[in-house]
Structure 1
Amino acid sequence: MRFHEFQELRQRQLRASPALLDAAETNLYRALAPTRPEPPDDTRTVYRCDLARAWLRRFELPEEWSRRAMVCRGVRHGLDVVFRRLRAEQARLWLPGDVYPVYFELARAAGLAPESYPTLPAPVLPASPADDRPEYLLLANPSKPLGRYLSDAECAAVMSWLRESPRRRLLIDSVYDLGAPFAAGTRRLLDTGRAILLHSVTKGWLWPRTFGVVLLDPAQAELAEAFRADPPTPAQLRLADRLLTVHGDVPGQVVGELAVRAERLFDRLPDEVLGAIPAASRTCPGNYFFPVDIPAETLRRECGVLAMPVGVFGESNWSGSVLTSLADAFGPTSSAAR
Structure 2
Amino acid sequence: MRFDEFQEFRQRRLGASPSLLDAAETNVYRALAAMRPEPPTDLRTVHRCDLARAWLRRFELPEEWSGRAMVCRGVRHGLAVVFQRLRAARARLWLPGDVYPVYFELARAAGLAPASYPTLPAPALPGAPAEDRPEYLLLANPSKPLGRYLTDAECAAVISWLRESPRRRLLIDSVYDLGAPFAAGTRALLDTGRAILLHSVTKGWLWPRTFGVVLLGPAQTDLADVADVADLADLAEAFRADPPAPAQLRLADSLLTEHSDVPRQAVAELAARAERLFERLPDEVLGAIPTASRTCPGNYFFPVGIPAGTLRREYGVLAIPVGVFGESSWSGSILTSLADASSPASR
Question: Which range, TM-score by smaller chain?
Answer: over 0.9
2:140 match = 140
Encode CA deviations 1:234-291: one digit per residue, 9 max, x unaligned. 0000000000000000000000000000000000000000000000000000000000
TM-score, structure 2 length as denominator? 0.96
1:67 match = 67
1:156 match = 156
Where do residues 20-59 of structure 1 align in structure 2 (5 Å cutoff)?
20-59=20-59
AA at the equivalent of 2:241: A
Whole-angstrom CA distance in 1 between matches of 2:51 and 2:101: 30
Whole-angstrom CA distance in 2 between matches of 1:262 and 1:223: 41
Encode CA deviations 1:14-73: one digit per residue, 9 max, x unaligned. 111110000000110010000000000000100000000000000000010000000000
2:341 match = 329
> How much does 1:223 deviate?
1.6
1:177 match = 177
AA at the equivalent of 1:250: V
Whole-angstrom CA distance in 2 between matches of 1:224 and 1:113: 24
1:131 match = 131
Whole-angstrom CA distance in 2 between matches of 1:54 and 1:131: 39
Where do residues 120-269 of structure 1 align in structure 2 (5 Å cutoff)?
120-218=120-218, 219-220=220-221, 221=232, 222-269=234-281
Encode CA deviations 1:275-324: one digit per residue, 9 max, x unaligned. 00000000000000000000000000000000000000000000000000
> How much does 1:335 deviate?
3.6
Give unpaired runs (5+ residues) of structure 1: none
Whole-angstrom CA distance in 2 between matches of 1:303 and 1:330: 15
TM-score, structure 1 length as denominator? 0.98
1:295 match = 307
AA at the equivalent of 1:11: Q
Give unpaired runs (5+ residues) of structure 2: 222-231
> How much does 1:131 deviate?
1.2
AA at the equivalent of 1:154: E
How many residue pairs get matched?
335
> How much does 1:330 deviate?
2.0
Whole-angstrom CA distance in 1 between matches of 2:95 and 2:137: 6
AA at the equivalent of 2:275: E
Match of 1:280 among 292, 299, 302: 292
Does residue 91 of the first structure (1) align with residue 103 of the second (2)?
no
Whole-angstrom CA distance in 1 between matches of 2:235 and 2:169: 14
Contact 2:340 2:346 in 1 (8 A): no
Whole-angstrom CA distance in 1 between matches of 2:318 and 2:303: 13
> How much does 1:226 deviate?
1.1
Whole-angstrom CA distance in 2 between matches of 1:160 and 1:224: 29
Q: SS of the counterpart of 1:334?
A: helix
AA at the equivalent of 1:194: R
2:224 match = none
> How much does 1:135 deviate?
0.1
Q: SS of the counterpart of 2:154?
A: helix
Identity %: 85
AA at the equivalent of 1:82: V
Whole-angstrom CA distance in 2 between matches of 1:215 and 1:101: 23
Whole-angstrom CA distance in 2 between matches of 1:107 and 1:313: 16
Encode CA deviations 1:209-243: one digit per residue, 9 max, x unaligned. 00000001222503222112211000000000000
Whole-angstrom CA distance in 1 between matches of 2:327 and 2:138: 16
Q: SS of the counterpart of 2:255?
A: helix
